[in-house]
Chains A and B, each alone.
Chain A
Amino acid sequence: GAVVSQHPSRVICKSGTSVKIECRSLDFQATTMFWYRQFPKQSLMLMATSNEGSKATYEQGVEKDKFLINHASLTLSTLTVTSAHPEDSSFYICSADTPYGGGPVDEQFFGPGTRLTVL
Chain B
Amino acid sequence: GESVGLHLPTLSVQEGDNSIINCAYSNSASDYFIWYKQESGKGPQFIIDIRSNMDKRQGQRVTVLLNKTVKHLSLQIAATQPGDSAVYFCAENMRGNQGGKLIFGQGTELSVKP
Chain A residues proximal to chain B, CB less than 8 Å: 4, 6, 32, 34, 36, 42-46, 49, 57, 91, 93, 95, 97, 103, 105-113, 115
Contact = CB atoms under 8 A, between A and B. Distances in A.
Contact of B107 (A43, A93, A109): A43
A43 B43 contact: no
Interface string B98-111: 01111111110000
B89 interface: yes
A88 B87 CA distance: 23
Given A43-B89, A43-B105, A43-B106, A106 B45 contact: no
B43 A46 contact: no
A114 B48 CA distance: 25
Contacts of B106: 42-43
Given A43-B107, A91-B41, A111-B43, 10 more contacts: A32-B99, A46-B102, A46-B104, A93-B44, A95-B43, A105-B100, A110-B44, A112-B42, A113-B41, A113-B43
B51 interface: yes
A105 B43 contact: no
Given A105-B95, A110-B44, A44 B101 contact: no
6 contacts: A43-B104, A43-B105, A97-B100, A112-B42, A112-B43, A115-B41
B31 to A, nearest CB: 8
A109 B31 CA distance: 19
B102 A34 contact: yes
Interface in B58-95: 89, 93, 95
Contacts of B101: 34, 46, 49
A105 B102 contact: no
